[in-house]
Amino acid sequence: MRLSYVIRRVFFVFMVIWTAATINFVLPRLTGRDPIKEQLMQQIASAGRKPEDAEQMWRKYNDLFGLDKPLWQQYLSYMSSVARLDFGYSINSYPRTVMEIIIARGRLTLPFLSVAIFIAFVTGILLGALLGWNKTPKWISAIVVPPLMVFSSVPQFLVALVLIYFVAFRAKLFPLGDPYPKTMIEDWSNPAFLAKYAYHAVLPILSVVIVEASGWALGMRAMMVTVEGEDYATFAEAKGLKNSRIFFRYLMRNALLPSLTGLALRLGFIITGAAVTETFFNYSGIGSTLSTAISTFDYFLLYGICLIMVVSIALATFIMDMIYPLLDPRIAYRGQRG
Amino acid sequence: MNTNVKPVIDIRNLKVYFYVKAGTVKAVDGVTLAIEPGVKLGLVGESGSGKTTMALALMRMVRPPATIEGELFLDGVDILKLSEEEMRRVRLSELAMIPQGAMNSLNPVMRIRDQILDGMIDHGVRMSRSEANQKVEELLDIVELPKKVARMYPHELSGGMKQRVCVAIAISMRPKVLIADEPTSALDVVIQRQVMETITRLVKNLNLSMILIGHDMGLMAQSVDRIAVMYPGKLMEVGDVRDIFAEPLHPYTQALINSLPVLGKRGVFNGIPGVPPSVINPGPGCPFNDRCPKVIEGLCIQKMPPFREIKPGRWVACHLYEGVN
Ligand SMILES: Nc1ncnc2c1ncn2[C@@H]1O[C@H](COP(=O)(O)OP(=O)(O)OP(=O)(O)O)[C@@H](O)[C@H]1O
Ligand code: SF4
Ligand SMILES: [Mg+2]
């Protein structure tokens, strides 16, 4: 991999984040009105907050947007706040800052969701590769593929509901919801808490894995069939290679590449991707925070989450861009040529 | 031709049928053919005549739903009776194949070195690192490639270079027979000739037998000793290349040779009138009967002519030569 390639990619990440932040800055100004100010005053009045609170929020608000200064200065001070990941205070949950809320909520969903995405990807890819392999007996595909098609196309909430009803409510194997027992306090350094968190996460993870693994498996199966039709697959067999080598090094290795791009995109949406699971299993994670922020017009929180989303998508893409040339030599080559 | 030499490849009544919705595709339908050690045989025929299917059947690589029937002797052993694992070991070490469309025959994500070595490794060849490097260099050298190619990926090579790598891999274990399915058809004419020269030189030096598949009679004439003419699913004529060109017996062979552009009479390319018959549910008669200028009414429509050796080394399937012996 060339240095110029890395530099170009890093530059790209910054451009994306910068553009998103700028849009965040510009959009409210295009309306001519000041939705933030209106909303802020209304919220403060209706929540019956103390005037000092309003005063401090105002100061922060002016700080962020520097309404009395020229536009370019407003922009600069806004950008420097953003660079420090300082999105100001939440309008509804003052005095908590937007970043505090994002971290507190993200902590609940991120661990189980990343585990779920990882399990879904690995099982889906392996299953799909086996199903698409021409050495796998046909009857196995005939049995396994139809359920996969169903699982990959039913809405995730249906899977969640079915799991909750049969596994949690009827069989009582797992709790009905909540990230941890209501009687416990959230303490990530307490092993007992971690154990409870993991126990509570089993069904949410399962609901994600069932749906997403089916999708990965079907995509991978189709890709395997395509790769098997390539001349290098024929030549590999003509070379008298062992089945395991053909399967892993020739077929799966090549069929995997498009799925990796898909995984990068999926990881980019890791923060928002859990909305359904969060709703049905009663997790107050980022997903539900985002929908609350939208419905209550908590602009600062909304902007903060949006920007974090953009950053995470840009970062996930960047990481994939760094790994991809190692997996597919043709990419690095194209990069060198510009 | 010396008939006392035991053939290295002896194909007897080979049938490869594919089962598709429209019916049974008789891609190879009763082919009998023998190849002596060190002989280069050209298998010619129009597109769809079953040449690739023949090659894949020899490698036992025909994909289901399909059946292979008949006998395929390689050095006296019927390879259709081998187990999967035994057959795997035969590939590359005794029977090597360069597939059709060799532009994409190399794994895009593996270095050339590893693609040269993995075949040998899976056949139980044990090498130290330096022995392996030496072997790779040696093979690249034989096919006239610089040793730096070993570290490259396929996309960094030109079509001709990729094809040379395929040749290097195919001969890496000194097989008895090399099957080359239109090995140069994707290359431009100059490169085609150079690669073909390399292949024929190697086959000669290593004393391999070769089945060279193609539909270009002209290119064939320069590279092979014997020619087998295929017409959908069946062999029409087999003989030494000089005899075939000097005196083509089968009307189809005659048409093929007449269709060659003649030197001095440039631009004259006759082509062969009509289209090849369907290999799905063929009729009972000679498959060439609807295009044959010498068709014998009745006989040729109703009865398939037997494929017979009318003189040593010369086989024909045509009613015109029924009585000849
Ligand atoms: N897997 C398959 N399933 C069904 N039919 C097939 C299959 N493979 C080949 N055929 C059919 O068998 C016949 C012979 O095909 P084959 O590829 O052997 O021809 P070919 O002589 O190699 O042609 P070309 O010169 O175009 O390479 C064709 O009619 C083809 O459609
Ligand atoms: S058998 Fe009859 S139809 Fe067929 S090639 Fe001979 S003469 Fe022509
Ligand atoms: Mg072919």
B99/A238 Cβ within 8 A: yes
Inter-residue contact A101 to A301 (CB < 8 Å): yes
Which pLDDT band, with edges at 50, 70 and 90, does A63 fall under?
Answer: low
B102/A330 Cβ within 8 A: no
Which has the closest alpha carbon to B57: B66, B49, B68?
B68
A231/B118 Cβ within 8 A: no
Residues A276-302, mean pLDDT to the nearest whole number: 81
Which pLDDT band, with edges at 50, 70 and 90, does A336 fall under?
Answer: very low
The CA B100 to ligand 1 mean position distance, Å, reads: 12
B107/A249 Cβ within 8 A: yes
The CA B282 to ligand 3 mean position distance, Å, reads: 20
Residues B313-320, mean pLDDT to the nearest whole number: 87
| Integer Cα distance of B207 and B210 in angstroms | 9
In a domain, A200, yes or no: yes
In a domain, A114, yes or no: yes
The CA B18 to ligand 1 mean position distance, Å, reads: 9
Of B97, B107, B153, the CB nearest to A238: B97
Q: How many alpha carbons fall within 13 Å on the CB side of residue B128?
A: 2
- B118 lies within 8 A of chain A by CB: yes
B153/A240 Cβ within 8 A: no
Choosing from B249, B254, B288 the residue with most ligand 2 atoms within 8 A of its CB, the one to mutate for a pocket test is B288
| Integer Cα distance of B257 and B238 in angstroms | 14
Task: Report the greatest alpha carbon distance in chain B.
Answer: 69
Average pLDDT score over chain A: 83
Q: Is the pLDDT of residue B116 over 70?
A: yes
SS3 A304: helix
A136, A141, A224, A234: which to substitute to probe chain B, counting the most B Cβ within 10 Å?
Answer: A234
The ipTM assigned to this model is 0.89
Report the number of distinct structural domains present in chain A: 1
Inter-residue contact B252 to B235 (CB < 8 Å): no
pLDDT tens digits for range B13-69: 999 999 888 888 888 988 999 999 989 999 998 888 899 999 999 999 998 788 999
Tell me which H or E stretch contains A26. helix A3-30
Q: Domain with A159 in it: what CATH number?
A: 1.10.3720.10
How confident is the model at residue A35, as a pLDDT?
Answer: 57
Q: Is the pLDDT of residue B270 over 70?
A: no
pLDDT tens digits for range A7-19: 888 998 899 889 9
| Top-confidence range, A21-35, A90-104, B142-156 | B142-156
Report DSSP state, residue A252: I
Alpha helices (H) along A133-190: 138-153, 156-163
How confident is the model at residue B263, as a pLDDT?
Answer: 53
Instruction: Return the domain boundaries, chain B.
Output: 9-321
Instruction: Give Cα separations from A176 to A120, A156, A162, A204, A286 (angstroms).
Output: 22, 16, 11, 10, 20
How confident is the model at residue A251, as a pLDDT?
Answer: 96
pLDDT tens digits for range A25-56: 887 777 666 656 666 666 666 666 666 676 67
| Integer Cα distance of A179 and A205 in angstroms | 12
| Integer Cα distance of B218 and A336 in angstroms | 43
Which pLDDT band, with edges at 50, 70 and 90, does A171 fall under?
Answer: confident
Tell me which H or E stretch contains B316. strand B314-316
Measured from the Cβ of residue A242, the count of other Cβ atoms closer than 10 Å reads 15
The CA B62 to ligand 3 mean position distance, Å, reads: 13
How confident is the model at residue A96, as a pLDDT?
Answer: 86
Of A232, A237, A242, the CB nearest to B106: A232
- A134 lies within 8 A of chain B by CB: yes
The CA B49 to ligand 1 mean position distance, Å, reads: 7
CA terminus-to-terminus distance, chain B: 17
How confident is the model at residue B303, as a pLDDT?
Answer: 84
Question: CA torsion angle for A58, A64, A68, A69 (degrees, to 10)?
Answer: 160
Which pLDDT band, with edges at 50, 70 and 90, does B274 fall under?
Answer: low
Task: Report the greatest alpha carbon distance in chain A.
Answer: 81
B100/A329 Cβ within 8 A: no
How confident is the model at residue A216, as a pLDDT?
Answer: 95
How confident is the model at residue B89, as a pLDDT?
Answer: 94
The larger pLDDT score, comparing residue B101 to residue A104, is at: A104
For atom 6 of ligand 2, which residue has the closest CA?
B318
Bond into A95 cis (ω within 30): yes
Report the atom number in ligand 2 closest to the C-alpha of B287: 4
- Ligand 1 pocket residue status of B45, Cβ below 6 Å: yes
Of A231, A249, A329, the CB nearest to B101: A231
Residues A230-245, mean pLDDT to the nearest whole number: 94
Instruction: Give Cα separations from B105 to A28, B99, B166, B185 (angstroms).
Output: 57, 7, 7, 13
**Percent over 70 (pLDDT), chain A:** 86
How confident is the model at residue B266, as a pLDDT?
Answer: 44
β partners of residue B9:
B35, B74
| Integer Cα distance of A178 and A281 in angstroms | 6
A239, A326, A337: which to substitute to probe chain B, counting the most B Cβ within 10 Å?
Answer: A239
In a domain, A93, yes or no: no
| Integer Cα distance of A21 and A188 in angstroms | 32
Measured from the Cβ of residue A126, the count of other Cβ atoms closer than 10 Å reads 15
Looking at residue A143, its amino acid is: I
B109/A238 Cβ within 8 A: no
Which pLDDT band, with edges at 50, 70 and 90, does B295 fall under?
Answer: confident
- A254 lies within 8 A of chain B by CB: yes
The larger pLDDT score, comparing residue A108 to residue B11, is at: B11
- Ligand 2 pocket residue status of B303, Cβ below 6 Å: no
The larger pLDDT score, comparing residue A73 to residue A137, is at: A137
| Residues B44-80 as b or e (16 or more Cβ within 10 Å = b) | bbeebbbbbbbbbbbbbebeeebebebebbbbeeebb
A238/B59 Cβ within 8 A: yes
- Ligand 2 pocket residue status of B296, Cβ below 6 Å: yes
| Integer Cα distance of B159 and A43 in angstroms | 70
How confident is the model at residue B154, as a pLDDT?
Answer: 94
- A329 lies within 8 A of chain B by CB: yes
With both helix axes pointing from N to C terminus, report the angle between A329-337 and A3-30 in degrees, rounded to the nearest 10. Answer: 80
Which has the closest alpha carbon to A213: A288, A131, A91?
A131
| Integer Cα distance of A279 and B90 in angstroms | 60
Closest Cα in chain A to B173: A239
Average pLDDT score over chain B: 86
Residues A316-322, mean pLDDT to the nearest whole number: 85
Q: Chain A residues with CB inside 8 Å of B104's CB?
A: 230-232
Query: Measured between CA atoms, how close is A244 to chain B, in angstroms?
Result: 10
Choosing from B16, B49, B68, B256 the residue with most ligand 1 atoms within 8 A of its CB, the one to mutate for a pocket test is B49
Which has the closest alpha carbon to B155: B97, B204, B209, B107?
B107
- B153 lies within 8 A of chain A by CB: yes
Question: What is the DSSP pairing of strand B226-231 with strand B234-240?
Answer: antiparallel
DSSP string covering A176-218, please? Answer: SS-SS-TTS---TT-HHHHHHHHHHHHHHHHHHHHHHHHHHHH
How confident is the model at residue B112, as a pLDDT?
Answer: 96
Inter-residue contact A277 to A206 (CB < 8 Å): no
- A334 lies within 8 A of chain B by CB: no
| Residues A203-222 as b or e (16 or more Cβ within 10 Å = b) | bbbbbbbbbbbbbbbbbbbe
In a domain, A164, yes or no: yes
Which has the closest alpha carbon to B27: B51, B59, B61?
B51
Inter-residue contact A78 to A66 (CB < 8 Å): yes
Q: Chain A residues with CB inside 8 Å of B110's CB?
A: 249
- Ligand 2 pocket residue status of B305, Cβ below 6 Å: yes
Of B96, B103, B153, the CB nearest to A329: B153
B63/A235 Cβ within 8 A: no
The CA B215 to ligand 2 mean position distance, Å, reads: 21
Which pLDDT band, with edges at 50, 70 and 90, does A213 fall under?
Answer: very high
In a domain, A120, yes or no: yes
| Integer Cα distance of A66 and A69 in angstroms | 6
Q: Is the pLDDT of residue A338 over 60?
A: no
Residues B236-258, mean pLDDT to the nearest whole number: 87
Domain that holds residue A207: 102-296
How confident is the model at residue B261, as a pLDDT?
Answer: 65
Residues A172-182, mean pLDDT to the nearest whole number: 82
How confident is the model at residue A149, as a pLDDT?
Answer: 92
Of B90, B91, B104, the CB nearest to A231: B104
CATH fold of B9-321: Rossmann fold (3.40.50)
Measured from the Cβ of residue A141, the count of other Cβ atoms closer than 10 Å reads 16
Q: Chain B residues with CB inside 8 Å of A254's CB?
A: 107-109
